Amino acid sequence: MRLILPVLATLFATPAAAQDAPRWSLAIHGGAGVIERDKLSPEQDKAIRAALNRALAAGSAVLDKGGSALDAVEAAIHVLEDDPHFNAGRGAVFTWDGHNELDAAIMDGRTRAAGAVAGVTATRHPVSLARAIMEKSDHVFLAGAGADAFSRAQKLEQADPSWFATPERRRQLETLKAKNLSAIDVDRKYGTVGAVARDVNGHVAAATSTGGITGKRWSRIGDAPVIGAGTYADDRACAVSATGAGEYFIREGVAHEICARIRFKGESAQAAADAVMAEVQALGGDGGVIVNTPAGITAWSYNTPGMYRGRVSAGGAPTVAIYRDEP
């Protein structure tokens, strides 16, 4: 049974002056779900926080040198895709047939150019494949064998299936099959990773990467690579990356809906995120979002017990959090 809690929303606390005109800002997530203190060992807690801090450091290093928001979100996602604690790249969950199928998307708020990929099996960093699709093809979305072929043609780094396959993810698949569980019952969380950035020129970008859900069949695709559902960026409004029950996020068009409320209704990032997550909850879905605006204001909203999350802005110290009782 999916656990639905009231929407929990937290505005990243930064000094008012910094919020007025930060030189740059970055927010990341590593998934949402039943993430509670008694569900993680002290070692897991420490390792996850360390990974989130490394991802923030990678993205902020780009931004602090005047780099683009697009480069920053890609750099942050690379770190999370390589860390087996997250359901993206290495550490991706298994399909019903025992394979790892990877999805990702990236979007540039300057031009609304976007790239997305689904069901790839050998690209070490699916987010970079999504970017290659955006920049080096006439398309937005590629999938399966064709996307794998495009990745090789672009000479992106490939990895053996053993790179993605971790013992813990295999155990989860075996448990799901043996006990006839749902994906959320065995994982207890949605492990998608995401990043949203605002650079020194006021441009925003978003990126999301995932392995999907444990035991997925029939080449199922969730919201993460769907532009407007799990990923969206528009300099006129904001950048959004989502994590959660993908079918509901697709039906709600979560990422675009948040941007539309900011652009057309003048809502704050927090108000827009809260309103859309409430609509997701009303449909029966759970998960969360991170948002970043051209003004550098970052926000998150989620309706699960926890969400792996972090943020940093120019001149400030990075902060990470896991549980809902953390500021």
pLDDT tens for residues 267-323?
999 999 999 999 999 999 999 999 999 999 999 999 999 999 999 999 999 999 999
Average pLDDT, the chain: 92
Is residue 208 within 8 A of residue 28, CB to CB? The reply is no
* Domain locations along the chain: 8-89+188-323
CB within 8 Å of 159: residues ≥ 6 apart? 90, 122, 123, 124
For tokens 């809902």, what's the residue?
324
What global pTM score does this model have? 0.92
Helix (H) or strand (E) holding 130: helix 126-136
Per-residue pLDDT tens for 69-125?
999 999 999 999 999 999 999 999 999 999 999 999 999 999 999 999 999 999 999
Give the model confidence (pLDDT) of 204-252 as tens digits: 999 999 999 999 999 999 999 999 999 999 999 999 999 999 999 999 9
Say how far apart CA 170 and CA 119 lie, in whole Å: 18
Given 14, 121, 166, 192, the catalytic residue? 192
Report whether 114 contacts 107 (CB < 8 A). yes
Report the first-to-last Cα separation within the chain, whole angstroms.
Answer: 28
Residue-by-residue DSSP string for 45-73:
HHHHHHHHHHHHHHHHHHHHTT--HHHHH
Give the Å distances, CA to CA, from 305 to 76, 84, 191, 308: 24, 22, 14, 11
Burial (Cβ within 10 Å: 0-12, 13-18, ≥19) of residue 109? buried
pLDDT score at 34: 84
Query: Distance between CA atoms of 81 and 106, rounded to whole angstroms?
Result: 14
How confident is the model over 123-143, as a mean pLDDT?
98
Q: Are strands 141-143 and 113-120 parallel, antiparallel or unpaired?
A: parallel
Q: Assign 135 a pLDDT band (cuts: 50, 70, 90).
A: very high
Both structure tokens of 12 = 């990243």
Residue matched to tokens 């053996």: 160
Closest C-alpha to 10, from 325, 237, 220? 325
Specify the pLDDT at position 181.
Answer: 84
Bridge-partner residues for 289, per DSSP? 242, 301
Q: Check if 231 is active-site.
A: no
Superfamily of the domain at 8-89+188-323:
(Glycosyl)asparaginase (3.60.20.30)
126-136 helix and 144-153 helix, angle to the nearest 10 degrees: 80
